[in-house]
């Protein structure tokens, strides 16, 4: 291989590694969004937060991650979901920015 081929191979490998690392970060933080509350398992994120915003009463029955109906206090679960979501998104952003700097 000549010099151009070597640099091209290195560039392709670097881009592939970066894409793989981004995918691994996504999976890592996606798994950290799951938490237990009120006898159910929940995944913090926009979907859960929107469902909770749509609940008409303070106590509501909604389906958890495993399809089980659970009676929850909307305010409590919403607080936990938003807290978990923001903590994990901030940590993910920091790792993502570090990954970009290393590249």
* C-alpha span between 92 and 88 (Å, rounded): 6
- Model confidence band, residue 18 (pLDDT cutoffs 50, 70, 90): confident
**pLDDT digit string (tens) for 1-13?**
456 777 766 666 6
Nearest in space to 35 (alpha carbons), one of 64, 55, 60, 61: 64
pTM of the model: 0.78
Note the pLDDT tens digit of each residue in 83-98: 999 999 999 999 999 9
50-55: average pLDDT: 97
Mean pLDDT, all residues of the chain: 90
Higher pLDDT, 74 or 21: 74
């Amino acid at each position: 291989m000549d010099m151009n081929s070597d640099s091209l191979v290195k560039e392709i490998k670097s881009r592939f590694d970066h894409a793989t690392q981004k995918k691994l970060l996504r999976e890592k933080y996606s798994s950290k969004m799951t938490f237990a509350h009120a006898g159910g398992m929940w995944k913090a994120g926009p979907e859960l937060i929107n469902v909770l915003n749509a609940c008409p009463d303070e106590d509501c029955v909604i389906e958890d991650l495993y399809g089980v109906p659970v009676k929850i206090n909307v305010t409590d679960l919403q607080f936990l979901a938003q807290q978990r979501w923001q903590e994990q998104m901030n940590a993910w952003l920091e790792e993502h920015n570090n990954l970009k700097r290393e590249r």
